[in-house]
């Protein structure tokens, strides 16, 4: 049953990829980071296997007195193995810490709502929040997905404004914006000397809702202020391909601008926490119409702000930097393959057993 559940959940998140791993029923377990370290080896499907197998063993123990002892023993072994794995996989000693920040707002909180020009947003909201984060000695400030909408003739002025802010405040910026000239949803990295160090384009678009040009999945990593920095945008973190790629590259911090809406903001944040634990890097999540949060590589929410209830603002936290990467980042969905093989071998054994039984019954009838 555990193996079957794993395969079915993988089909759901991979072959019916509307929301990716945000569709998995184990998503809510991200609220207990100490209990999900296993996913750094197995991915989220490991939790599916543990929960369904545990429930099946409990049901067997209650429904079949003859199997009660074996089922109870197997359940104890399962719990003990998971507890030991989570304890062993919990990172303990960070190399050092870095102070980072995320800024966000809702569109209704902008001077002219969603129709506010990029200059208006920049001057009335964004710069003030970046100044606040820089005053608290943040080395990196991440802003929301499509926080600015920039026309072709405005790109140079927009770039110069970002460069000036980064230089004057001596802070790195990871800025989400929509580039109308390229018809792309992008994330630009600007260092504390005002230089553009990389641009990432959103790869996983929401079906039927987002109709612009998708990125090709190319990862962007830059050497930030003392750590390797990567970036994804919103829906990208509902899928594991890009997230695992950054784990393999050794990224220690990943900037994730996002644009949610009121009804999904909690669900999306719950799912985002798994990417940090699976790949052992911190996440700096800046939201428009959602929840901005800073998440450690252990899945702990170090700071958060719900912009619907708390208004525009910045979250700032000291993030522990651990050795990046994990078994799951390197090997991916090996558990799914193992479960599929187990199911196929089990079915083959069942067919063979039935075939032998049928032949034996036929011989008995013939003899009689």
Domains and CATH numbers, the chain: 2-91+330-341 (no CATH), 96-322 (3.60.110.10)
- Round to whole Å and give the CA distance between 274 and 254: 13
> Where do we find the tokens 């790949």?
279
pLDDT for 255-274, tens place per residue? 999 999 999 999 999 999 99
Q: Which residues contact 86 (CB under 8 A, 6 or more apart)?
A: 34, 35, 36, 37, 38
pLDDT for 37-49, tens place per residue? 999 999 999 999 9
Q: What is the pLDDT of residue 17?
A: 79
Cβ-contact 202, 215 below 8 angstroms: yes
- Calculated CA dihedral for residues 103, 105, 111, 114, nearest 10 degrees: 120
**Mean pLDDT across the chain:** 94
Q: Does the structure show a pLDDT above 90 at 143?
A: yes
3 state SS of 142: strand
> Where do we find the tokens 């049953």?
1
> Where do we find the tokens 């700071």?
303
pLDDT for 113-134, tens place per residue? 989 999 999 999 999 999 999 9
Q: Does the structure show a pLDDT above 80 at 353?
A: no
Q: What is the pLDDT of residue 352?
A: 80
Q: 317 or 64: whose pLDDT is higher?
A: 317
**What radius of gyration do the chain's Cα atoms show?**
24
- Round to whole Å and give the CA distance between 327 and 77: 23
Closest CA to 166 of 117, 221, 231, 122: 122
Q: What is the pLDDT of residue 18?
A: 86
Q: Does the structure show a pLDDT above 90 at 333?
A: yes
Q: Does the structure show a pLDDT above 90 at 16?
A: no
Q: What is the pLDDT of residue 155?
A: 94
- Round to whole Å and give the CA distance between 196 and 102: 19
Helical packing angle, 240-249 and 265-279, nearest 10°: 30
Q: What is the mean pLDDT of residues 321-347?
A: 94
């Amino acid at each position: 049953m555990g193996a079957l559940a794993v395969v079915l959940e993988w089909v759901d998140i991979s072959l019916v990829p509307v929301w990716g791993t945000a569709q998995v029923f184990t998503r809510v377990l991200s609220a207990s980071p100490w209990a999900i370290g296993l996913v750094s080896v197995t991915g989220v499907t490991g939790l599916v296997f543990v929960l369904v197998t545990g429930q099946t063993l409990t049901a067997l123990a209650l429904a079949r007195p003859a199997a009660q002892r074996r089922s109870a023993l197997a359940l104890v072994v399962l719990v003990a193995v998971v507890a030991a794995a989570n304890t062993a996989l919990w990172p303990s000693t960070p190399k050092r810490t870095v102070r980072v920040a995320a800024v966000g707002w809702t569109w209704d909180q902008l001077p002219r709502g969603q129709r506010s020009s990029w200059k208006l947003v920049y001057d009335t909201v964004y710069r003030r929040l970046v100044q606040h984060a820089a005053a608290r000695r943040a080395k990196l400030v991440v802003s929301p997905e499509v926080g600015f909408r920039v026309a072709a003739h405005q790109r140079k002025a927009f770039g110069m404004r970002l460069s000036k802010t980064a230089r004057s405040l001596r802070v790195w910026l990871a800025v989400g914006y929509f580039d109308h000239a390229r018809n792309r949803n992008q994330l630009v990295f600007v260092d504390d000397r005002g230089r553009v160090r990389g641009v990432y384009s959103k790869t996983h678009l929401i079906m039927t809702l987002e109709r612009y040009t998708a990125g090709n999945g190319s990862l962007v990593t830059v050497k930030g202020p003392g750590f390797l920095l990567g970036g994804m945008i919103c829906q990208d973190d509902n899928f594991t391909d890009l997230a695992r790629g950054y784990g393999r590259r050794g990224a220690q911090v990943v900037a994730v601008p996002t644009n949610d809406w009121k009804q999904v903001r909690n669900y999306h944040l719950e799912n985002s926490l798994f990417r940090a634990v699976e790949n052992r890097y911190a996440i700096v999540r800046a939201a428009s119409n959602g929840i901005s949060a800073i998440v450690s590589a252990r899945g702990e929410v170090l700071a958060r702000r719900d912009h619907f209830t708390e208004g525009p603002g910045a979250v700032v936290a000291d993030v522990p930097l651990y050795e990046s990467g994990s078994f799951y980042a390197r090997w991916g969905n090996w558990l799914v393959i193992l479960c599929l093989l187990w199911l196929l071998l089990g079915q083959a054994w069942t067919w063979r057993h039935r075939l032998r039984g049928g032949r034996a019954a036929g011989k008995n009838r013939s003899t009689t």
